[in-house]
Amino acid sequence: MTRSEERLPQKSPAAPGLEMPAFLERGFTPGMRLVSFLTTVMVHVFFGLLFRVRIRGSENFPRTGGLLLASNHTSFLDPPILQMVSRRFLVFTPRRSLRASRFYRWLTRFYATIPIEHSRGDAAAARHILRALEQGYPVALFPEQTRSSTGEVQAIKPGFHFLAERARVPVLPIIIRGAFEAWPRARRLPRCFRRVDVKVGRPFRVEGMSRREAVDRLRRAWSELGAKLGSTPADDPGAESLQTNREPSA
């Protein structure tokens, strides 16, 4: 058991669907690496032709070590766009309900994923993400937890602070603009030939910050990268599906 896992509730061995992801036990298999590489190449070509993706700040992406990517979330296009930003294979954190889709399970068979149950505290997912971070994997997280229906930043949940603080890894702020216009959540098919701009900020650490301070720091980083903040609900530092233990308010 790692240091970060000591303060998490222990997983029930009988709980369904909470098994340890295979890549955490065996690493990325040759099949996963091959499929991920080929898919990444195809995504670059496909997105380059149909969506004119422009990436700025890629030099801020650390080449080694555990890392928590914190991106805004407005479109189905966001996960593959994040993989375009990285030269490393990412670990994704989709909502657990997506596993009900046979097509989704087939699509993600060769990818590193840690599904999260957003409707309640998900101690098992938190434990797996912490282990991935401590093993040196870059983990992609959407702190808003769901796609925006307006294209503007929604309330930021503080689970990223919990994970980054426990694993002692940096947070990498990323803003994706234009993906909402290309494929919003209410549209069944994407609009092609739209420009998508991606900006990668400088990584920062949250050790010593309260949850509120970490949320404010991320919101400020997103704002500096050009995020559409708009009139969003107040960020709730107490509501988080990955927050498995209460901390004193700062």
Mean pLDDT of 191-214: 96
129 sits in the region (left: phi over 0; alpha: psi -120 to 50; else beta) called alpha
pTM attached to this predicted model:
0.84
Q: Is residue 18 part of a domain?
A: no
pLDDT, one tens digit per residue, over 15-32 is 444 578 888 888 887 877
Q: Is residue 124 part of a domain?
A: yes
Q: Is residue 70 part of a domain?
A: yes
Helix (H) or strand (E) holding 33: helix 30-50
Q: Is residue 237 part of a domain?
A: no
- Write the DSSP symbol of residue 43: H
8 Å CB contact between 206 and 217:
yes
Query: Could you count the other beta carbons within 10 Å of the beta carbon of residue 57?
Result: 17
- Domain harbouring 185, CATH code: 3.40.1130.10
Would you state the pLDDT for residue 248? 36
Would you state the pLDDT for residue 250? 33
Would you state the pLDDT for residue 17? 47
Burial 73-105 (b: 16+ CB within 10 A, else e): bbbebbbbbbbbbbeebbbbbbebeeeeeeeee
Q: Compute the distance between CA of residue 40 and CA of residue 46 in angstroms, rounded to an integer.
A: 10
> Total structural domains in the chain?
1
**Is the per-residue pLDDT at 210 higher than 90?**
yes
Would you state the pLDDT for residue 12? 39
